[in-house]
Amino acid sequence: MPDVPDPRPLEGRRLLLGVTGGIAAYKAAVLVRLFKKAGAEVQVLMTPDATRFITPLTLGTLSEREVLIEIFPENADGSWTKHVGLGLWADLFVVAPATAQTVAKLAHGFCDTMLTATALAARCPLLICPAMDHDMYRHPATRANLERLRSYGYEVMEAAHGELASGLVGEGRLPEPEAIFDRVVAMLAGATEAAGSLAGRHVLVTAGPTREALDPVRYLTNHSTGTMGFALAEAAARRGARVTLVAGPTALPTPPGVTRVDVVTAEEMHAAVQAHRDADLVIGAAAVSDFAPEAISASKIKKTGAEMVLRLRPTPDILAALGREKRPGQVLVGFALETDDGPANARRKLEAKNLDWIVLNDPKEPGAGFGPGTNRVTLLARDGTVEDLPRMPKRAVAEAILDRVAVSL
């Protein structure tokens, strides 16, 4: 029998629909109805100029939710932070129509409306559907902005060809609502497939720095923020894994669906990892201190003007311990932060610790290493494969790493 199409393919899905100030804004009403009929919850965000073309009352009635426009609403109930909550709530953010102005704002990180603020805060995929006059659409600035959005990981649906509001004929029309709807269904179906790629697996991730006390006031540590490890934990959870995140000291919030174990020292991290050493996939993204003070002073060490000599002892090698006990089918992934002879040092670590993959990055390279922004990594596999990834946001790096290592399971 032929497959029967699912009458509600978006059942339980949560969509953000961004509507900007172009003549095609009227098609947003059709989009809302299509999304709702397919079972989705829809929250509409409008730019102020969009209200010149279609009223918030219309879209609010169809979506059964208050339409949000300004980032600073008149009430004082704390709802100005809704952009953060919505960015976590949504499964997909669609901007249709996306004018040249909004495309430029999104490409360069402007944050002046609820729509643009939510786009910056969103952790979900974004689908951009441009609509403007032909010459605006083909202008090098617009093309460059659309390419920039693609580099962020956004999907861009090319504009359709046809009659335009100016009377010209050419590219620039908003794709028909049914075509946008089909793209949304396909994107979410793909996300579901990706999310299921780790279903039933236990993934253990370490993240952040460790702190090794000198006295009650001071400690040895490093510049790690934990961002890369947290991005990996979040991405694994989205793919359906049961995720345990062993985190050193960091202020980052726990990703949705992740079980977090907080530790401070390398010894504590080692113990926590050993407690979950049966995980199917272990990703050691933490920047673990290699050495700790041999003795911790019970009192604050006073400055005397004389030289201070510290005696340090090695801390446990967490991944090497797992490598010695690795069971069949288990996959171990390490990180190597190297300032010199990176590939050679990373390959030595991979072999010495019995890892399956190692992720190499250089803190001296712009946009790589520690910090909350981007990373530029090289993946080295046990079979000798080497792959250089471009500089990307750490969330995108996390997805790329999981795309590669998941096939080893």
* CA dihedral of residues 360, 365, 368, 369 (deg, nearest 10): 70
Residue 222 annotated as catalytic: yes
Residue of 228, 221, 154 whose CA lies nearest to 376: 228
Q: How many C-beta atoms lie closer than 10 Å to residue 210's C-beta?
A: 28
The token pair that represents 254 in the structure block: 């726990």
User: DSSP character for 243?
Assistant: E
Beta bridge partners of 156: 128
Token pair recorded at residue 323: 């490598």
The helix (H) or strand (E) run that includes residue 42 is strand 41-46
379/381 Cα distance (integer angstroms): 7
- Active site residue: 75, 145, 222, 361, which one? 222
- Specify whether the CB–CB gap between 77 and 50 falls below 8 A: no
Closest listed residue to residue 357, CA positions, set 378, 380, 339, 373: 380
How many Cβ atoms sit within 10 Å of the Cβ of residue 167? 7
Distance separating alpha carbons of residues 349 and 335, to the nearest angstrom: 9
Catalytic residues: 222
